[in-house]
Structures are given as structure tokens and as C-alpha cells.
Amino acid sequence: MIETEEKLLDESRQGEAIERYSQGPGSNGRKVYIESYGCQMNFSDSEIVASILEKEGYETTKLMQEADIVFVNTCSIREKAEQTVRKRLQSFHQVKKKKPEMIIGVLGCMAERMKAKLLDEEKLVDLVVGPDAYRNLPDLVNEVDGGRKAVNVILSKEETYGDISPVRLGGNGVTAFVSITRGCDNMCTFCVVPFTRGRERSRDPETIVEEVKQLAENGYKEVTLLGQNVDSYLWYGGGPKKEFDKLSEEEQKRSVNFAQLMELVAQVDRKVRIRFSTSHPKDMTDDVLHVMAKHDNICKYIHLPFQSGNSRVLELMNRGYTREWYLNRVEAIKRIIPDCAISADIIAGFCSETEEEHQDTLSLMEEVKYHFSYMFKYSERPNTLAQRKFEDDVPEADKQRRLSEIIALQQKHSHEQLKKDIGKTYEVLVEGVSKKSDQELYGRNTHNSVVVFPRKNYKAGDYVMVKVHDCTSATLMGEAIA
């Protein structure tokens, strides 16, 4: 499957996806409509927001028209993501002109990046709340009720919302996200996330296991553990990220790393599949790969962004690895988990990237043969290191052509990888009815590949053995076998 900025096929992934949802009874008579953009983390945060508000008696609605409060949970990752949100805010602003009592709030990464500017200069909204301030939302709404504009964009070194049980919204009742870390300390030079999400911190493993148990009890069959860099998960009692060897003896003893967390989560319920995202090449250990190999219910799929295939560009990006290191990690995956699908994020046309360096990206793709990639043109973001230190000097036409070459190659590789599955049988977790025909269901196999097959008497949430007989570059087609 292919994803680009222009074409977002899989709405559950990083990108400019939109989701609207409704849930639960309320008691204060006010309805909240939330629209989410950006990565899975943002969608997961909207569920935390809904939970905080429902406790205060608000009801969520999927109809903007009946909402008393409209929240837009925003993304700043690329300029285009912000433009999409801005257009949306303008259209809500038009609605508000006819319905002045309606409150409009901006949540998430753009709230954090723009701060009070969204209130003062653009005057589009009443409320601006950053990703670490959601517990404050009910009070902030009260402030707006009192005739004031409200802002809280304070970032925290401790907040993980670990004790909050998210209200599952707009989902299929089968798959759910569980956040395990917040923030990011990596400072990749192109990336806005460390500024919008603050310092990295890990969530208490007990609360993670508890949340997975609850999901299992409620019939969920798949859990995706979320973090900007799941491999650097390290619980030592709470607080900002520390390296293991910087912990006290006491902290080391009670510490839990990502491999250990995966063990704990995999054991909650063997019928619940585990996925995780995103893996970082500089931190992914063999221990994690061995835990994956050991547990049947951990899906054999790793999202391992490489961004560029050239070591000089990787250095400029401050990614913390070279091309050789990255390929060594891929080799480790193939050795320890022979049948593991790998996907990537790729950036075309980063500052000063030459034609030869772009060729290195294509040749790395040839070496790894990804099942899937998310591919982007470099988009300069205000205040990032790249914006301050480097010139965004690859001409737009070159960026576009390089991206097109990357997309074409990925399409070829996706097709080649899926063709290898023809004749094989996979366990597929059914997620719902196919968009193209109500006589067909769709689900995913362990590789995260979408599989479509005739419905018969199967339903969402079933595990079905499906024999693959055909494919496109994005989808496997098959038949359930008894």
C-alpha cells in the first residue's frame, strides 16, 4: 500500500486523517464535537479528552450541527497539515457567526505551536489547549462561559494520563490504541514534535496492562501500543526520560523497558493481538525482536522509518544512525523474525540533498523491499533546527520528482511483497465490511496487510483463516477456509 501527503489511504496512520464520533450519555446537557487530525497519538488523545469531559457530564456527538462545543485536535507535522486545519477552523468560524454561543477550541500540536496567536491574531477560536493540559479542559470551558478567552499550553514532564480510561470513540470495537509514552527527546532537525509534545516520558506499566485487560474484557482483539519512539520506553517510577545507566540502583530494580513491557502485554490475553508504533532504528534492540518472535500474538510487523538512505543526510537530520546501522537492524529483524513485514517513513528533498543522495534512498528501498511506506516531501517547520540552521534549498520540482520516484518504487515493492502471499493462508482479524461490497469483509493479517474475502457468516472481531488467491499493490484477496 502507498501513502503520500496527497493520498492518504489508511486513515488510522500518521497523516492528515479526520475522524468524527459520538459516545455515551451526558448529564450537563452540553454536547461536544471533536475532530481529530494527525497521528494515532492525536486520535488516542481525543479519547482521553472525551473521557475527561464525560466525567464532567458532557456528551460527545458526531454531528457538528448539534454541538455546543467544537474541538479540533490538530497536527503541525507538515505545512499542509496546518493548512487543512486552518481551513476547517475558518469554516467553523462561519458557523459561529450564526450561532455565537458555540465554543470553538483548538487542541493538540498546532495549539502548542501557535499558542495565544490563534486567539489574538487570527481570532478564530475561544480556547487553545496543548497536549499536556487536557485535565484543565472543564475549567477552561468555564472560563470561556464567563466571557473570557482561555489558553493552557503548559507542557509537563510527568503527565501521561495514565489513570484515565479513554472513552473508545468512532472505532470498530475490535482494534484500539494504547499510549505508552508521550513527547519526544530526539530532536530530529526537521521535526516539530519535540516542541509540540515536550519531553519524553513513559507511562506506568501497571496502568498499561490494566487498560489492555479492560479492552480484552470489552471484546477488543487488537491493541496498538503508541509512542513516538516505543523502543526508548523506560519506566522507573515516573518523570522525564532517563537512560538506564543514569538510574539509581533502586530505580533500575523496578525499571521496565520496552521488551519487558511487551512480555507483560502479550500475556494479558492470548486472543488479543499486539502491535506497536513507532520503532526507532537507533534504539530497537534484539531483545525486542526476540520477544516478538516468542509470542504468537505479537504481530510480525515493524514500522521502522529510515527517512533517508544516505548517511550524510541522516547526520544532518540528527537521526542518530547511519545507513549501515539501519541495514544492520533490518538484518537483525530478518534473522530473528524471518517472516516479518517492514514499513517505513521517507522524506524526499531534505535540505542540501543531492541527486546521488536521493539515489541512496532508492537503493536502500531496493535492499529492504518494504511492504509499505509513508512518503513525504520535506516541509520546513518554523523554529526547528533545520529551519534555523539549514537552507530549504532543493527546488520544489526536484522534491516532487524525487517523491514520485520513491512512490513508484514503493508501489512496485508493495506489489512484489503481496504477490509472495498468493497461495499462503493467514489468520485474519476481521475489522468490518469492505467498502466496495457488503458481501465482503476486510481485516488484516500479521503483516498488517489488508485482506478482503467473502463474508459468509463471519463478522467483525472474528479470527478467520484466509487463503490468499490474488492481490493488488495494496490489498490481498482470498477465501476463508474452514
H or E element at residue 264: helix 258-266
Q: How far is the CB of 387 from ligand F3S (least distance, A)?
A: 15
Is residue 305 near ligand SAH by the rule CB under 6 A? yes
Between CA 386 and CA 319 the distance in angstroms is 12
Beta bridge partners of 32: 60, 69
- Closest by CA position to 398, among listed 436, 370, 359, 425: 359
Candidate ranges 94-102, 191-199, 312-320, 405-413; the one touching ligand F3S (CB under 6 A) = 191-199
Q: Choosing among ligand F3S, ligand SAH, ligand SF4, none, which partner's interface includes residue 109 (Cβ < 5 to 8 Å by kind)?
A: ligand F3S
Q: Of all residues in this chain, which one has the CB nearest to ligand SAH in the complex?
A: 345
Candidate ranges 70-78, 205-213, 267-275, 469-477; the one touching ligand F3S (CB under 6 A) = 70-78
Candidate residues 2, 13, 14, 112; the one interacting with ligand SAH per rule CB under 6 A: 14
Q: How far is the CB of 20 from ligand SF4 (least distance, A)?
A: 26
Q: How far is the CB of 293 from ligand SAH (least distance, A)?
A: 23
Give the single-character DSSP code of 370: -
For ligand F3S, the closer CB: 152 or 310: 152
Say if CB 330 and CB 368 are below 8 A apart.
yes
Say if CB 425 and CB 445 are below 8 A apart.
no
For ligand SAH, the closer CB: 102 or 362: 362
Number of residues located near ligand SAH, criterion CB under 6 A: 18
Sign of CA dihedral 295, 300, 305, 311: positive
Candidate ranges 192-200, 313-321, 394-402, 470-478; the one touching ligand F3S (CB under 6 A) = 192-200
Is residue 376 near ligand SAH by the rule CB under 6 A? yes
Q: Choosing among ligand SAH, ligand F3S, ligand SF4, none, which partner's interface includes residue 194 (Cβ < 5 to 8 Å by kind)?
A: ligand SF4
For ligand SAH, the closer CB: 273 or 303: 303
**End-to-end distance of the chain based on CA atoms, in angstroms?**
28
Q: Choosing among ligand F3S, ligand SAH, ligand SF4, none, which partner's interface includes residue 76 (Cβ < 5 to 8 Å by kind)?
A: ligand F3S
Residue ranges with strand state E in 116-254 = 127-129, 150-152, 175-179, 181-182, 201-202, 222-226, 234-235
Is residue 317 near ligand F3S by the rule CB under 6 A? no
Q: Choosing among ligand SF4, ligand SAH, ligand F3S, none, which partner's interface includes residue 61 (Cβ < 5 to 8 Å by kind)?
A: none
For ligand SAH, the closer CB: 46 or 307: 307
Residue 40: all three cell numbers together? 494515532
Is residue 75 near ligand SAH by the rule CB under 6 A? no
For ligand SAH, the closer CB: 71 or 374: 374
For ligand F3S, the closer CB: 31 or 203: 203
Is residue 197 near ligand F3S by the rule CB under 6 A? yes
Is residue 42 near ligand F3S by the rule CB under 6 A? yes
For ligand SF4, the closer CB: 150 or 288: 288
Is residue 225 near ligand SAH by the rule CB under 6 A? no
Sign of CA dihedral 200, 205, 209, 214: negative
For ligand SF4, the closer CB: 73 or 384: 384
Is residue 378 near ligand SAH by the rule CB under 6 A? yes
Candidate residues 381, 399, 402, 444; the one interacting with ligand SAH per rule CB under 6 A: 381
Between CA 375 and CA 347 the distance in angstroms is 6
Q: With 0-12 CB in 10 A as exposed, 13-18 as middle and 19+ as buried, what is 21?
A: buried
Give the single-character DSSP code of 372: E
Report 192-221 residues binding ligand SAH (CB under 6 A).
193
Residue 315: all three cell numbers together? 547526520
For ligand F3S, the closer CB: 191 or 452: 191
Q: CA geometry: angle at 171 spanning 169 and 173, to 5°? A: 110
Between CA 80 and CA 6 the distance in angstroms is 10
Beta bridge partners of 155: none
- Closest by CA position to 385, among listed 112, 186, 240: 186
Is residue 379 near ligand F3S by the rule CB under 6 A? no
Residue 274: all three cell numbers together? 499486539
- Does the N-terminal peptide bond of residue 285 adopt cis geometry, omega within 30 degrees of 0? no
Residue 462 CA to its chain's centroid (Å): 25
Largest CA distance in the chain: 65
Q: Choosing among ligand SF4, ligand F3S, ligand SAH, none, which partner's interface includes residue 379 (Cβ < 5 to 8 Å by kind)?
A: ligand SAH
Candidate residues 179, 189, 379, 448; the one interacting with ligand SAH per rule CB under 6 A: 379
Report 79-138 residues binding ligand F3S (CB under 6 A).
108-109
Is residue 76 near ligand F3S by the rule CB under 6 A? yes
Which amino acid is located at 101 in the chain? E
Helices (H) and strands (E) in the chain, counts: 15, 22
In Å, how far are 254, 263, 362, 385 from 394, measured between CA atoms? 49, 45, 17, 17
Between CA 468 and CA 427 the distance in angstroms is 11
Q: How far is the CB of 311 from ligand SAH (least distance, A)?
A: 17
Give the single-character DSSP code of 233: -
Binding site for ligand F3S (CB under 6 A): 14, 38-39, 41-42, 75-77, 108-109, 192-193, 196-197
Binding site for ligand SAH (CB under 6 A): 14, 77-78, 190-191, 193, 228-229, 278, 280, 305, 307, 345, 347, 376, 378-379, 381
